[in-house]
Structure 1
Amino acid sequence: MRLFKLRDYQQETVDGIIKSIKKGNHAIMITSPPRTGKTVVMAEIARRATAKGNRVLFIVHRKEIVDQAKITFKQQSVNMKLCTLGMVQTFTRRVDKLKPPDLIFIDEAHHVLGKTYLRIINAFPRALKLLFTATPIRLNGKGFTDVVTDLVPGKQVSWLIKHKMLAPVDYYAPKAINVARLKVKRNGEFDTKSIEQAIKPKIYGNAVKNYKKLAAGKQAIAYCYNVASAEKLAAEFNRKGIKAASVSGNTPKDKRKQIINDYRNGKIMIVTNAELFTEGLDLPNVDCVIQLRPTQSLSLFLQFSMRSMNPRKGKRAVIIDHVGNVERFGLPTDDRNWTIQDTKSIKGTNNASSTEIKPVTVCEQCFATFYRTNDKCPFCGADLKREETIEVDEDAKLEKVEAIKRKERIDKILNDGLTNYVADKRPSELNNMEQLKAYAKLKGYKRGWIFYQAKQKGLIR
């Protein structure tokens, strides 16, 4: 006997998958925003599959997700004798020993282009493959058409909030970072050293102050950029009388479990962490998210932000963004129309990478974040100053803060980051000579094109 029934929007997803299969698709990506019950949908499909004697393989990349999925599958009366759940790291080592599945689930499937996943997928070409993710996008813009043939979209965040399936959110973004110092690594993520240089020493004090001002009494998770910053922030909260604990990949398993249990039971108000609690782990009583880690990944941004949006009657989630992530991605409540195509090759479509982000305004008086329509803050009524877009400054130099012997490596990182930055731009959106040079190199244009564009823009006389 099943212990829960699918919500209407979850049933729509199941129906969409069945419709896609009937069209001949056997490798399907399914999208649904974080906090909307992807595991519940998979459990229902697994129940139907095992009831017909089909063997199921469920692949994840974190042990905590395996443990939670097992509980949900059992609750939904899945025949566990026909269902194998485990981590991709384990399955890829013993793929030859696995019993051939009829159905493969892949959770957090934006990771699926990794070699470990592909090895498993390629080993079972006859299996139906259902790939679930909240964010079908990768930093390098690579699409998923090598792996899947169809996309089944879930409901938009705005719809889920309107129908009380997600909590509404108040988003605040104190500008407590020198964004011009941020540098980009080859993989598109920010360089850790540059994050350390960009975040001012008082950021931790500001984080506590703004939490007390904007989210006092709410249980929160703070996403920090490394272990030291997570520990420092937890110590600062404790000094201010707010019970906090820090966890990371270095935290012993038993201690981490105790911290999570204490948080769930309300004994701890704030958990600060580095590299944890971004995907899959269910902490339903999070009401506030504090972002102290800048990211170039829309996937990470949405995982960070929506951690606080589990619904509860009368609840409004609070997100405090100290690092300008909203400036790169817009608000987490924005509608996003996903695609499985290469995002860098699609122009003029409303996909996650090529969409032009509407400018977001941060009020300097109350830190509220919103889309600007006039010169007054809609929250506190303060006069708004002329907005300046916050983004990575590819022209910044590192020589004064880095050892000279590292100059060549740093220059390459910056050049790679600049190339990634201009790849989705039009010539009219390029603002300086370095951007024009990078764009010309990327497109194979001659030096004359750079000179002409620079002259048109008034960069040279």
Structure 2
Amino acid sequence: MLKLRPYQEELVNNIYHSLSSGHRKIIVQSPPRTGKTVVMAKIAHLTTNFGNRVMFIIHRKEVLEQAKNTFNTEGVDMSLTTMGMVQTLTRRVDKLPKPKLILIDEAHHALAKSYQRILNKFPKSYVLYFTATPERTGSKQLDQIADDIIVGKSIRELTDKGFLAPFDYYSIDDIDTKKLKKSSTGDYTNASMEEAVSRKIYGHIVSNYQRLADGKQAVVFTYSVESAKEIADAFNKVNISAVELDGSTPDNLRDRIVKQFRDKKIRILVNVNLFTEGVDLPDVDCVIMARPTQSLALYLQFSMRCLNPREGKRAIIIDHVANWKTFGLPDSDRDWKKAIITTDKGKRKKKETATFAITQCDYCFAVVPSGKVKDGKCPYCGKPIKVRAKVEQTDDELKLINDRKRVIDEILHDEVMQQVADKSPHDLHTMKELQAYAKLHHYKRGWVFYQAKMKGLIKKNE
């Protein structure tokens, strides 16, 4: 039997309270990395103990196998349990035994036709929709199929209590967002991501990993097999072991590579849409995002992949495509009850950005919630700061989003560094400015030499 954490016990109690109040179709929200499968196993165990049938639906094979193991560990009566991928169950729907309770994992997918075919077959069954992110990228929200929502503990509260690891968040704009185009699903097309993401990203990913997370086990999320292979090659060229994985990787090879990663024989996993929902990778200490998205679900799955807690751990999130500008930080406050409401007769509601209002100090590069700016001054260095809806970022700077104290003193006591603090590399015209800029951002001497050559400050043959 599995021992529930306090917040999981509270979730189970809230579910039963909602059911006893007459609700039959309930959304259960809880952040990524918080053990939703354990909660489902506990509920399935209690249900089958009363001789009632349970159905569990998921859309990923890897998650299904893990869920079966969890259900068995919890002592669920598997003779009364149907567990399967939605793709399989929807084809066999006419032969499936009628369940008393249906459990749907990653339920933000549940409006899809494959799920609806199953749910429509069993209209009198109780349904629990489990998801970390009830909000969908499509036009319709989950209020179309649910009559209650239970909101779990916030990411910030779970972090404060030690159930999630604290993190530092860095970002660089290696992307031209004007080139991004949406598909019919509401997320970006692969072709537009390919065009929008700068070719510089491959070098930036490696150099910034070395500077910020050197030696940490890391997972890179990218958008295409080609980009994943280029990123893996870039790591391997500097003797950092990296492997590319995607949907075409054979299962046995994938399992072997993941085991090598867990055993720390491989340092970096570069993947395309594999390690998002549910797959267990407990030793990830760093996440690198090289894929822009309009999906809050994907963003949280990406960014929180490294938040499994460990004594003394502080995770590193490196965002090369400015996803934080769309979604705020992973632990930003979110109103999930409002997020699931379909408005304007099914038309997509406008995104509300006020909750994620973040601004940046031009002097010390602190990025802070606008609400923390008092009297027009930066809360870190005390210099004037403008509260603005959008943060202006330079092309090649990698900035710490939530902790800038370590650079303040250095900036305030160096006149040249103050002069270059709010500039981009293309605004630098002297060797002293390049050297100050490199010192400010902890770039190596080779960066100064390369930039000086490009600007004609050093002769080409020197």
- Tell me the TM-score normalized by structure 1: 0.78
Closer, same or farther: CA 195–287 of 1 in aligned 2, 3 Å: same
Would the aligned equivalents of 1:377 and 1:384 in 2 still touch at CA under 8 Å? no
Would the aligned equivalents of 1:173 and 1:368 in 2 still touch at CA under 8 Å? no
CA distance in 1, matches of 2:167, 2:184: 33
CA distance in 2, matches of 1:361, 1:384: 8
Would the aligned equivalents of 2:216 and 2:267 in 1 still touch at CA under 8 Å? yes
Equivalent residues in 2 for 1:77-156 (5 A)?
77-156=75-154
Q: Partner of 2:324 in structure 1?
A: 326
Identify which of 269, 272, 276 aligns with 1:271: 269
Q: Partner of 2:17 in structure 1?
A: 19
Q: Partner of 2:254 in structure 1?
A: 256
Closer, same or farther: CA 330–250 of 1 in aligned 2, 3 Å: same
- How many aligned positions are there? 384
Closer, same or farther: CA 375–202 of 1 in aligned 2, 3 Å: farther
Q: CA deviation at 1:342?
A: 2.6
CA distance in 2, matches of 1:367, 1:65: 40
CA distance in 2, matches of 1:256, 1:382: 51
Q: Partner of 1:342 in structure 2?
A: 341
Q: CA deviation at 1:387?
A: 6.2
Would the aligned equivalents of 2:359 and 2:391 in 1 still touch at CA under 8 Å? no
Q: CA deviation at 1:366?
A: 8.7
Q: Partner of 2:390 in structure 1?
A: 389
CA distance in 2, matches of 1:227, 1:365: 39
CA distance in 1, matches of 2:121, 2:161: 42
Closer, same or farther: CA 382–354 of 1 in aligned 2, 3 Å: closer
SS of 2:205's partner is helix
Q: Partner of 2:282 in structure 1?
A: 284
Equivalent residues in 2 for 1:44-443 (5 A)?
44-339=42-337, 341-345=340-344, 353-354=351-352, 356-361=354-359, 369-371=367-369, 373=373, 376=378, 378=380, 389=390
Would the aligned equivalents of 1:173 and 1:362 in 2 still touch at CA under 8 Å? no
Closer, same or farther: CA 22–254 of 1 in aligned 2, 3 Å: same
Would the aligned equivalents of 2:325 and 2:390 in 1 still touch at CA under 8 Å? yes
SS of 1:145's partner is helix
Closer, same or farther: CA 244–366 of 1 in aligned 2, 3 Å: farther
Would the aligned equivalents of 2:217 and 2:283 in 1 still touch at CA under 8 Å? yes
Would the aligned equivalents of 2:359 and 2:390 in 1 still touch at CA under 8 Å? no
Q: Deviations over 1:371-429 (max 9, x none)?
A: 35366584x999979967279xxxxxxxxxxxxxxxxxxxxxxxxxxxxxxxxxxxxxx
Would the aligned equivalents of 1:27 and 1:128 in 2 still touch at CA under 8 Å? yes
SS of 2:335's partner is coil
CA distance in 1, matches of 2:350, 2:155: 14
CA distance in 1, matches of 2:382, 2:193: 33
Would the aligned equivalents of 1:38 and 1:132 in 2 still touch at CA under 8 Å? yes
CA distance in 2, matches of 1:241, 1:370: 36
Closer, same or farther: CA 291–381 of 1 in aligned 2, 3 Å: farther
CA distance in 2, matches of 1:276, 1:384: 41
Amino acid in structure 2 at the alignment position of 1:108 = E
Q: CA deviation at 1:128?
A: 1.3
Q: CA deviation at 1:187?
A: 3.0
CA distance in 2, matches of 1:189, 1:135: 15
Q: CA deviation at 1:368?
A: 6.4
CA distance in 1, matches of 2:190, 2:100: 43
Q: CA deviation at 1:81?
A: 1.4
Amino acid in structure 2 at the alignment position of 1:243 = S
Would the aligned equivalents of 2:289 and 2:321 in 1 still touch at CA under 8 Å? yes
Q: CA deviation at 1:369?
A: 4.6
Closer, same or farther: CA 367–203 of 1 in aligned 2, 3 Å: farther
CA distance in 2, matches of 1:51, 1:41: 16
Closer, same or farther: CA 248–362 of 1 in aligned 2, 3 Å: farther
Unaligned segments of structure 1, at least 5 residues: 392-461
CA distance in 2, matches of 1:59, 1:309: 26
Amino acid in structure 1 at the alignment position of 2:83 = L
Closer, same or farther: CA 50–352 of 1 in aligned 2, 3 Å: farther
SS of 1:187's partner is coil
CA distance in 2, matches of 1:352, 1:36: 29
Q: CA deviation at 1:359?
A: 3.2
Q: CA deviation at 1:352?
A: 10
SS of 1:28's partner is strand
Closer, same or farther: CA 315–368 of 1 in aligned 2, 3 Å: farther
CA distance in 2, matches of 1:232, 1:381: 42
Q: CA deviation at 1:247?
A: 0.2
Closer, same or farther: CA 294–363 of 1 in aligned 2, 3 Å: farther
Unaligned segments of structure 2, at least 5 residues: 393-462
Q: Deviations over 1:120-141 (max 9, x none)?
A: 0111122111110000011134
Closer, same or farther: CA 26–286 of 1 in aligned 2, 3 Å: same
CA distance in 2, matches of 1:334, 1:127: 35
SS of 1:194's partner is helix
Q: CA deviation at 1:343?
A: 4.8
Would the aligned equivalents of 1:171 and 1:368 in 2 still touch at CA under 8 Å? no
Amino acid in structure 2 at the alignment position of 1:61 = H
SS of 2:332's partner is coil
Amino acid in structure 2 at the alignment position of 1:166 = L
Pick which of 271-280 and 186-195 moved more. Answer: 186-195
Q: Partner of 1:10 in structure 2?
A: 8
CA distance in 1, matches of 2:157, 2:34: 12
CA distance in 1, matches of 2:289, 2:360: 15
CA distance in 2, matches of 1:363, 1:112: 42
CA distance in 2, matches of 1:175, 1:37: 33
